[in-house]
Amino acid sequence: MSDTAREDKLGLDPRLVDRARRLAARAAEPVIELARTHTTVSVERALLRLTGLHGADAGGTPWANVITDAVAAQVGLEHGVALPVWDALRAGGHRDLESLAREVARGGVSFRLPTGADAGTARAAAGAAARAGIARIDRRRAERDRLLREIGDPPQPWIYLIVATGDIHEDIPQAQAAAREGADVIAVIRSTGQSLLDYVPEGATREGYAGTYATQENFRLMRAALDDTSRELGRYVRLTNYASGLCMPEIAVLAGLERLDMMLNDCMYGIIFRDINPRRTFIDQRFSRQIHARAGIVINTGEDNYLTTADAVDAAHTVIVSQLLNERFGHEAGLADGQLGLGHAFEIDPSLPDSFRLELAHAQLVRELFPAAPLKYMPPTKHMTGNIFAGYLLDAFFHLAGVMTDQSIILIGMMTEGIHTPWLSDRDLALENVRYVRTACGRLAEDFVPRPGGFVAERARRVLAESVELLERVEADGLLPAIADGTFGVTRRPPDGGKGLAGVVARAPGYCNPATEILDTEDPHGSRDMAEVPA
């Protein structure tokens, strides 16, 4: 990362940039208010997981779900699970939450909303349990900082590679091989079924479709394997997974507890592409981002996806608008600029004249709007054909655009994109491609200064102007109506449609969630004196 490459090259009007940010903040505000005043089943389960609850019944239903569902059925979730659960834990003399859950499953627990001194006792006990969980996340963050110092932090752009076998025990050697071949970031793609599961599966898993289930044990196994490989290679290899779908808050907690380094976590992706209810998504998202902020996890947003359904030229400004919204939601939840891995993509039709200049304009615009963000740049997918030779060339141009515009995280292009999940040789050839471009170009970003008033600069200014126009509309109409109207990704998603709405609950006065209290009141990046969890 070089500061000289991030100087002002496009001559953007700073007042227009400020206006865009103010509009994004105003558009985001009602949604943030919604998140502050509501909870969801997954937020409540996340508290239980944070305090160390794991495991599942014989049928695979996690104990976190067993308890949360019982509290919801008996006393409702509007006051949160904390008071009823820690009250029942004390009253029943249970050793821990897991014993409580087993008793709940046997039908032997009557939850109540404690009052008076009992409420105070439950509140204190839940508070201590949440504090211990947050402290575990803090220690994991400190451990990462130490490993980065001791082992070494690779220079950007980081090469980001995906493994997706469905079997954690196949993923591990593939991930280690990819790291040895040059990957700085390993993403374990989730099983496509997982985003719509309203629970997090348990244990090490070997059966997934087009990916591997995100589970706490899978996280632990992969992080441990990559720690070994990191030491072997002398550079810290980052691990990525997905805090998205119906269990976003819980998966964020598990990622924090198991020292994952990056998480896919977009503010609108689940709504648009998975038809998850918009309210559910925004509430879950805020909690998950607060956890990510605390855990020092870099989020990756999903704007690249819009360009797979919408046209990459016509819809370029929707990417910017979504990035500004993601930035606002991220900042509000406590994420630092260095944790905002805003996404975008190289998806312009290559048969279009000047397509590469347009790509450079878009990529440079994003770079300048978010100079401190670890931008994640995604490879061509929509216009990859069965012609692997042409695809290899297009991928090289993508890598070139990434290097010229100083992108931070490059998901490297696969010439067999759209044909099959990458073969070993596809990945190896892709790494050879990006290595060549990186080595050949060096710090080319320093020399890439678009001519003032030229094609690239003018295109960037136009996209910014269109973004401000769209933000004005979104701010005036409201974000939820804009989503309902198909503004992003051309897909219409009404606020009361989609999956997961039943799990949204308005908080009652006296709602108690000790995790939220800590996350809402403390600086997530404050310096803490702590001992590490042994690695």
Partner 1 sequence: MTTAEPTRYAPPAQADTRQVIRPYGDTTGDGMVQVSFTLPVPAGARAEAAALSLAGQMGLDPASVVHVKPMGPDFTFFIVYGRVRHLIDYAAIEAPEGREYPLLSATEANQVIRAGLGRPLVVVGACIGTDAHTVGIDAILNVKGFAGEKGLEYYRELRVVNMGAQVAVAELVERAKAENADAVLVSQVVTQRNAHLHNAKQMAAAFHAEYPTAVAAGMGRPLLVVGGPRFDTVTAADLGVDRIFGRGTTPAEVASYLVHALLPGAGR
Catalytic positions, please?
269, 304, 376
Q: Is 421 in the site for partner 1 (CB under 8 A)?
A: yes
Q: According to CB under 8 A, which residues from 298 to 317 bind partner 1?
A: 308-311
Q: Is 274 in the site for partner 1 (CB under 8 A)?
A: yes
Name the residue with tokens 């947003």: 301
Q: Is 530 in the site for partner 1 (CB under 8 A)?
A: no
Q: According to CB under 8 A, which residues from 311 to 370 bind partner 1?
A: 311
Distance (Å) of CA 519 to CA 5, 79, 134, 247, 376: 35, 18, 9, 18, 26
- Site for partner 1 (CB under 8 A): which residue of 86, 158, 273, 356? 273
Closest approach, Cβ 494 to partner 1, in A, equals 13
- Site for partner 1 (CB under 8 A): which residue of 57, 143, 170, 428? 428
Backbone dihedral angles phi then psi of residue 3, each to the nearest 5 degrees: -70, -35
Give the whole-angstrom CA distance, residue 285 versus residue 332: 11
Q: Which residue, 173 or 442, has its beta carbon nearer to partner 1?
A: 173
Give the whole-angstrom CA distance, residue 317 versus residue 469: 9
Name the residue with tokens 């709602």: 511
Q: Which stretch in 30-38, 371-379, 415-423, 473-481 sits in contact with partner 1 by CB under 8 A?
A: 415-423
Q: Is 494 in the site for partner 1 (CB under 8 A)?
A: no
Q: Which stretch in 59-67, 316-324, 414-422, 448-456 sits in contact with partner 1 by CB under 8 A?
A: 414-422
- Site for partner 1 (CB under 8 A): which residue of 490, 501, 508, 533? 490
Of 326, 333, 324, 328, the residue nearest 295 (C-alpha): 333
Q: How many residues bind partner 1 (CB under 8 A)?
A: 31
Neighbours of 58 (CB within 10 A): 6
Enter the DSSP assignment of 276.
Answer: B
Give the whole-angstrom CA distance, residue 218 versus residue 226: 12
Q: DSSP assignment of 172-227, as one string?
A: HHHHHHHHHTT-SEEEEPPPTTGGG-SS---S-----SSS----HHHHHHHHHHHH
- Site for partner 1 (CB under 8 A): which residue of 30, 150, 338, 423? 423
Closest approach, Cβ 150 to partner 1, in A, equals 25
Closest approach, Cβ 19 to partner 1, in A, equals 29
Q: Is 121 in the site for partner 1 (CB under 8 A)?
A: no
Q: Which residue, 338 or 418, has its beta carbon nearer to partner 1?
A: 418
Give the whole-angstrom CA distance, residue 466 versus residue 470: 6
Structure tokens at 72: 């919801």
Q: Is 209 in the site for partner 1 (CB under 8 A)?
A: yes
- Site for partner 1 (CB under 8 A): which residue of 1, 124, 128, 210? 210
Q: Which residue, 115 or 425, has its beta carbon nearer to partner 1?
A: 425
What amino acid is encoded at 445 in this protein?
A
Q: Confirm if 335 and 344 have CB atoms less than 8 A apart.
A: no
Distance of CA 146 to the CA centre of its chain: 23
The three-point CA angle 167-265-322 to 5° equals 140
Contact characters 381-400, partner 1, x per CB under 8 A: -x---x--------------
Indicate the SS3 state at residue 295: helix
Residues 6+ positions from 439 with CB-CB distance below 8 Å? none
Q: Is 196 in the site for partner 1 (CB under 8 A)?
A: yes
Q: Which residue, 196 or 393, has its beta carbon nearer to partner 1?
A: 196
Closest approach, Cβ 31 to partner 1, in A, equals 22
Q: According to CB under 8 A, which residues from 4 to 63 bind partner 1?
A: none
Give the whole-angstrom CA distance, residue 280 versus residue 387: 41
Contact characters 166-195, partner 1, x per CB under 8 A: x----------x--xx---------xxx-x
Residues of the shown chain interacting with partner 1 in the complex, contacts defined by CB under 8 A = 166, 177, 180-181, 191-193, 195-196, 209-210, 273-275, 308-311, 382, 386, 418-421, 423-425, 428-429, 490-491
